[in-house]
Amino acid sequence: MATEPQPRAVRTSDDGRPVPTLLVVLLGMLTLPMAMSGTTVALPRIGTALDASGAALQWVVVGYFLAASACMLVAGSLGDLYGRRRILTAGAALYTAGTLASAAAPHVLLLDAARILSGIGAAGVMASGGSLLAATFTGPARTRVFASLGTTAGLGLALGPTFSGWLVDALGWRATFLSYAAVGAVILTGTRLLGESRAEERPRVDRAGAATFIAGFALALFAVTQGSKAGWNSPWTLLPAAAATALLTTFVRVEQGLARSGRGRPILDLRLARNPAFAGWAVGSFALGAGTTGVLAFLPTYLQGVNGTSARAAGLTLLLMTVPILVLPPLGARLVNRGVPARRLLVLSLLLIAAGNAWLTTLHPGIPVPALAGPLLTIGAGQGLSIGIVDAQAMSLVLPSEVGMASGFLNTVRGATGALTLTVFGALLLTAELTRAWHTALWTVTALITALALTTHLLLSRPSAVGRRSARRNEWAQPSAQSTTEATPTTTP
């Protein structure tokens, strides 16, 4: 990324209002994971109530991920240009409206559409929330704040299945969406307390880049979803895959043309993605999601369908995995601030997740909860140690005026991870007898995460001299520590 001539690269108001910003963003990061993990517990009841099954029912979860992942990059970049609080407010409004519509949906297709709307809103909340924190906090404080973000997301994951399972058993599945909508309304109200933050300059919006990326990325994920169900040679798979390839190729050319001409700021500066250090953190983020999403999404369904457990009991079982995600992020941040290399902590986390997935292949009908404790605690510990450090480390590599783009990129990776993992994991579970299919899926995840751990280690272990040469070759420069931690933001009236 090109270094800007002045350290005042960000325009803020009211000194960023750090305390309200932190509280509102944390509330959003608490609710969105709850809405994700909790909805998986409610799927069997939703299917019974709406007479739905198969792809239409799975899209209650997959559609949310697809919409969120396709829109996060654009939401983050627009936040840099038009104001991160403004995009956060718009996202909270869409999320609340979509969740209310989900609670009232009389048909599964209308529920799928409402969940897609909720996913678009979630993209605005997640991308803008992370960039607001990155623009407001610096140095060790940023590491601690993002650890709090990881803790809060872990709390949402931990509470989601339990809370939703209790509501589903007591009041029905519609009550879960009503509760999430109520919190969305609180977030929307809380955005009035935040200061605005955006780039000092506002170039022309990259409309062509935004349109081609959203359409291309959504079609790519749709093709993967269709391929796992209709077959990889089906026209319903090949046609969207071809369209996605054409659109994403056009997107790359548009971004390259904008970077060369300087007539506007790209939605994604491709030099960011080519920076080995940033790419390493992105790969690590992908691996963290890929190693946990399948178990989180499908294990409750297995326990309810094969073992006959209630939705509440299935949610309580998942606490074995989600509680470590709640309690360990502060430990990870403390270790990094005390000098433990963050890259080593991330690689250790990925190896723990791989080991936990391998251990979970002991899964069988009638398995008691104590037998699940070891693998689920191991997976949760791996996720918890690093979930709070990835964003802080990656954000330190970009200019303050582009933290929205970086946050959007990282959240796009996470969203795509969720959608792809749900699709592939779900497809594997349909290929054979259920328990045997689970074993195949778990061994596949184990091999993938082990390979990604090695890739992350190689990308983040490159000598600093190589990183500097790569930076100069790509006209990218990391901002100095002084410009990152001591720059004084301008204040708007």
* pTM value surpassing 0.95: no
Q: Which helix (H) or strand (E) holds 143?
A: helix 139-170
Is residue 35 classed as helix, strand or coil in its secondary structure?
Answer: helix
Confidence (pLDDT) at 476: 39
Confidence (pLDDT) at 3: 38
Residue predicted with more confidence, 284 or 312: 284
Contact 212, 248 (CB under 8 A): yes
Q: What mean pLDDT is predicted for residues 384-389?
A: 85
Token reading at 31 = 């609710």
Measuring CA to CA, how many Å separate 33 from each of 92, 158, 255, 415?
14, 9, 32, 12
Neighbouring C-alpha atoms within 13 Å toward the C-beta of 95: 33
CA dihedral defined by 370, 372, 374, 376, rounded to 10 degrees?
-130
Contact 134, 395 (CB under 8 A): yes
Residue predicted with more confidence, 192 or 138: 192
Asked whether the predicted pLDDT for residue 97 surpasses 90, the reply is yes
Query: What would the pLDDT profile of 155-179 be if each residue is shown by its tens digit?
Result: 676 677 677 777 788 888 898 899 8
Asked whether the predicted pLDDT for residue 485 surpasses 70, the reply is no
Query: What would the pLDDT profile of 420-453 be if each residue is shown by its tens digit?
Result: 787 778 777 766 688 888 998 899 999 999 999 9
387 phi/psi in degrees, rounded to 5? -60, -25
Of the chain, the percentage scoring pLDDT greater than 90 comes to 24
Query: What would the pLDDT profile of 2-44 be if each residue is shown by its tens digit?
Result: 333 333 344 444 455 788 888 888 888 888 777 776 787 788 8
Confidence (pLDDT) at 114: 94
Confidence (pLDDT) at 7: 36
> At what angle are helices 207-230 and 235-261 packed, to 10 degrees?
160
Categorize the per-residue pLDDT at 464 as very low, low, confident or very high, splitting at 50, 70 and 90. Answer: very low
Cα–Cα distance for residue pair 89/75, rounded to 1 Å? 12
Asked whether the predicted pLDDT for residue 182 surpasses 60, the reply is yes
Confidence (pLDDT) at 185: 93
Query: What would the pLDDT profile of 114-159 be if each residue is shown by its tens digit?
Result: 999 998 998 889 888 888 888 788 777 777 888 777 778 766 766 7
Residue predicted with more confidence, 391 or 121: 121
Query: What would the pLDDT profile of 241-279 be if each residue is shown by its tens digit?
Result: 899 999 999 999 988 888 787 777 788 888 877 888 999
Query: What would the pLDDT profile of 316-374 be if each residue is shown by its tens digit?
Result: 888 888 888 878 888 888 898 888 999 999 999 999 999 999 999 999 998 998 999 99
Confidence (pLDDT) at 12: 45
Confidence (pLDDT) at 55: 72
Which region among 70-84, 282-296, 461-475 has the lowest average model confidence (pLDDT)? 461-475
Categorize the per-residue pLDDT at 491 as very low, low, confident or very high, splitting at 50, 70 and 90. Answer: very low
Please name the residues in contact with 363: beta carbons below 8 A apart, sequence gap of 6 or more.
Answer: 302, 372, 435, 438, 439, 442
Place of tokens 């990094």: 336
Categorize the per-residue pLDDT at 471 as very low, low, confident or very high, splitting at 50, 70 and 90. Answer: very low
Quick count: other Cβ atoms within 10 Å of Cβ 458?
Answer: 12
Q: What mean pLDDT is predicted for residues 285-313?
A: 85
Confidence (pLDDT) at 199: 64
Cα–Cα distance for residue pair 132/130, rounded to 1 Å? 5
